[in-house]
Amino acid sequence: MKKALPSIISATVIAASMLAGCGTKAGSTSDNMESESTATPADELISRLQWLTDSGLVAYGHHDDVAYGHNWAYIPDSSDVKNVAGDYPAILDWDLGLIEWNTEKQLDGVPFDFIRDQAAKHNAKGGINSFSWHLRNPVTKGDSWDISESDVIAQIMTPGSELNDTIRLWIGRAADFIGSIRDTDGNRVPVIFRPWHEHSGNWFWWDLGHNSPENLVALWHLTREIFDQKGIDNVVWAYSPDKIRSEEQYLSGYPGDEYVDILGSDVYYWNGENGPERFAQHIDNNLGIATKLAKERGKLVALTETGSEGVKPDTWYSEILLPAIANYPICYATAWRNANVNEKPEHFYAPYPGHASAPDFVKFHDNPRTAFLNEMKKQK
Ligand code: BMA
């Protein structure tokens, strides 16, 4: 049944798809002529994302999907999404939090070796991997949500300071990990990386509630400088503010077209958001602006994080999410994690078997607009 060019997708989406994301790769910031003539792993992933856009498909992503779920952990080949829909997500989303401290496991307990291994396997099947990074606060030594001090970026960007050495070391560790994800032939596996996410909010130490846009841009530039110095060529860079109200706000903290491939947005259905209309409005604000800018700048568009905690109402996926994104040429939409029931019983964003939203999620999977792993295999 799935999926030639989906007939339900409006002409607007297809037209917008053709315009948005012409696949202009954020160029290397170093003067490396060779990188201009040779296709990198990142270029290859951009082509796959462009294929999704051009086909009017939205790849479904789920955070930590194959590591653990609502009531299981580290069972080989398990996945709440697969156990409900019979198909893995197209995108495995991961977080690098604590890589900066060189620990064995990331902040939610997933071993980095496990992530490296699963990411390579998923890529070999035609799937895609994406990464966020909830890193510690280098000044207070608290976590990402420690906003007890303002202007942390100003402090860590002072050249020659101990804190500047620290942030360089931390970014270097993130780069080394991403660069170490390899296929069985030893080639780097391309991934999407979206550092400094949700910077338009007021809850992370790097966000614009606590830092100037200029300093955030400088931090982005430093990030790229370090990745480029290490020759990391397998990153597709995503920019992902939280809810915004204007184009100006969307672009506040934007590092520049040479630094970004995907214009993303994190938009959640928090506590019902006063109903589906309000959520649709937020999506319209964010994805409307991202789509317009992507057309102008030749970038891809994505819903980099979304979800309704506890998947409420039961028909959230097919009756709230799908209509909200109907007119936008996003290449993927990623839902956050299904925490273990013993840890956070209500903290899940995809159904698990037996959950009341499971039948609706199957509908969402079967909808011609969505792509799960089986769909990605066709492209491979
Ligand atoms: C949050 C929650 C936390 C988690 C953090 C980082 O949204 O899921 O439980 O530790 O993300 O993954």
Q: Please write down the HEC assignment for all residues of 58-72.
A: EEEEEECCCCEECCE
Name the average pLDDT for the chain: 92
pLDDT band at 219 (very low <50, low <70, confident <90, very high): very high
Ligand 1 centroid vs 63 CA: distance in angstroms?
10
Tens-place pLDDT, residues 38-87: 899 999 999 999 999 999 999 999 999 999 999 999 999 999 999 999 99
Q: Does any ligand 1 atom lie closer than 6 A to the CB of residue 65?
A: no
Burial label, 213 (beta-carbon count in 10 A; 0-12, 13-18, 19+): middle
In degrees, to the nearest 5, what angle opens at C-alpha 62 toward C-alphas 225 and 103? Answer: 50
Q: Tell me the pTM.
A: 0.93
Which residues does residue 262 pair with via DSSP β-bridges, in sequence order? 238, 300
Q: Does any ligand 1 atom lie closer than 6 A to the CB of residue 108?
A: yes
Ligand 1 centroid vs 275 CA: distance in angstroms?
24
The residue to mutate among 337, 340, 343, having the most atoms of ligand 1 within 8 angstroms of its beta carbon, is: 337
DSSP 246: S
Q: Does any ligand 1 atom lie closer than 6 A to the CB of residue 95?
A: yes
Looking up tokens 């307990």, which residue turns up?
109
Q: Whose CA is nearest to atom 3 of ligand 1?
A: 108
Ligand 1 centroid vs 228 CA: distance in angstroms?
29
Ligand 1 centroid vs 155 CA: distance in angstroms?
26
Q: Does any ligand 1 atom lie closer than 6 A to the CB of residue 16?
A: no
Contact 306, 352 (CB under 8 A): no
Q: Whose CA is nearest to atom 8 of ligand 1?
A: 337
**Amino acid 31: pLDDT:** 44
Looking up tokens 């506590």, which residue turns up?
271
Q: What is the mean pLDDT of residues 8-19?
A: 42
**Amino acid 33: pLDDT:** 44
Q: What is the mean pLDDT of residues 255-262?
A: 98
Q: Does any ligand 1 atom lie closer than 6 A to the CB of residue 135?
A: no
Q: Does any ligand 1 atom lie closer than 6 A to the CB of residue 134?
A: yes
Q: Which residue type sits at 253?
A: G
Atom of ligand 1 nearest to the CA of 344: 9
pLDDT band at 14 (very low <50, low <70, confident <90, very high): very low
